[in-house]
Chains A and B, each alone.
Chain A
Amino acid sequence: MTVLIIAEHDNAALKGATFNTLTAAAELGPVTILVAGSDCASVADEAAKLSGAAKVLLVDDPQYANPLAEVFAPLVVGIAGDYGHILAPATTFGKNLMPRVAAVLDVQQISEITAINDPDTFERPVYAGNAIATVQSSDAIKIITVRATAFEAAVPGDSAVEIENLSASENPGLSEFISTELTKSDRPELTQAQIIISGGRGMQDGENFAMLEKVADILGAAVGASRAAVDSGFVSNDYQVGQTGKIVAPDLYIAVGISGAIQHLAGMKDSKVIVAINKDEEAPIFQVADYGLVADLFKAIPELEAELNK
């Protein structure tokens, strides 16, 4: 059975989680990649070269310049009949779009899968990752979002597959894009970073995050935060790692002044190596840490910066 994935991109290049979604999809069968956007031929070319891709569908139309679910869903629904599985990354893009597609097709979506057991059976975390449910779908088409950290990223192959052009579907005219305000940063994106240093309530205020940024710049790391730090207004929500923020699994995760609420652990406990720096030795973060340092972060972080600069 053929599998469709919905590529997430910015009209210039594919976004990271799309590569992992392709790897998941390839476990199910030959993969067609849908690239819908505006002036996005370069994205289709990039997708066509990926190992695991069998075909690329390109829909190049100004109405797809921004990913409005009301405009994208009819396009996916229109071609859904050709596929047994339709997958998208479990990013804000995929989470916004896929349930809209699923409901029109009368399908119960399977959200944020972390494993594929067979073509009908999938594993997905529930209760902030405190339990793993194995679910079997009886729907004719499976609509799935994929947790990127659970699958490897697909890489370019030796050759490029065919790119077929599709025409745009009708715009229902329900919604209009106004603007985006993206956080500008020279550091890697949280979900793509090899190393992340995150701050929690213990940081005390937003200005103190500058200490973490200095360490991040030495390590080439991204800066994250716990929900407590976001709720306290230290940093904006797109820093948030956790159940309701971003799910990350870097090689190294350094948690600074983070107590380790289950909601935060849900977002980072699959990291390869976890370091916790906290003055409270009872903090639950130490239970998941490979290396724990019981210390005042306002002393430890400048020391860490100095030590790394040696």
Chain B
Amino acid sequence: MKVLVAIKRVIDYNVKIRVKSDQTGVETTNVKMSMNPFDEIAVEEGIRLRESRSAEELIAISIGPKHAQETIRTALAMGADRGIHVETDDEIEPLAVAKILKAVVETENPDLVILGKQAIDDDSNQTGQMLAALMGWPQGTFASELGISDGKANVTREIDGGLETIQINLPAVVTTDLRLNTPRYASLPNIMKAKKKTIDETSPGDLGVDTSARLTTLKVTEPSSREVGVIVEDVAQLVDKLRNEAKVI
């Protein structure tokens, strides 16, 4: 079995987001960038399939500017076998990402594509489902458990109110939720080894994918902030305020 994981370079989740004063977006210069946390879980799951011999090859793909190669190197250092970099400086919407991934899937023929359920920058939560739709494949989204046997995947999904288990035919798309696994850190020897692994370079144009945007971002603004509250002395005062001032209990 061959597994493809799609990874995105995003602003590190610990960075305090600042909206640009001209309202065109958020500040990204001199800001720490990292692999989207859900994609790290996707890479880890791919490596585990590789280690349990369910998969023979694990390929990591990223779409983005030159620096996206660093994110691919991180995946290679964790344990992916080779990388694919689809280079573009444009902002690529989920539908176009799914189209690019489809073009790559059609040449690489993986049995399973694993993606993070959402990127923590645009919070769209769309790409995996869209890729599955374009391929006519089933989808196991928000996975907290994944088992592969007899050409099928058993996926336990995090749904509102609990868990749902479904069985889907392979090839399939799986998107990761938090509890699927805990991603490993790359060891220093593996970081060195990753430098020798191949990253194939291509572009949306080479793949014949039109990435023109369907959404125009008119502006990006700060969310409305809350008024500063008060510090109460003790529990009795707190309950009194909630009863008589806020009147919520």
Contacts and interface: CB of A to CB of B under 8 A. Distances in A.
Interface of A: 66, 68-70, 73, 91-93, 95-104, 106-112, 121, 125-139, 172, 174-183, 189, 191, 195, 219, 227, 230-231, 236-238, 240, 243-244, 246, 251-252, 262-263, 269, 272-275, 281, 286-295, 300, 303-304, 307-308
A189 B166 CA distance: 24
B221 A244 contact: no
Contacts of B177: 237, 244
B78 interface: no
B188 interface: no
Interface of B: 11, 13, 16-17, 19, 26, 38, 93-95, 98, 117-118, 120-134, 136-139, 141-142, 144, 154, 157-169, 172, 177-179, 213-223, 226-232, 234-236, 238-239, 241-242, 246, 248-249
Contacts of B133: 73, 99-104
Contact of B169 (A107, A129, A174, A293): A174
B158 A290 contact: no
Contacts of B241: 291
A211 B142 CA distance: 30
Contacts of B132: 69, 100
Contact of B123 (A93, A102, A125, A295): A125
A172 B138 CA distance: 9
Contacts of B139: 69-70, 96, 100, 175
Nearest to B233: A293
Contacts of B26: 126-127, 130-131
A134 B249 contact: no
B28 to A, nearest CB: 11
Nearest to A181: B163
A294 B231 contact: yes
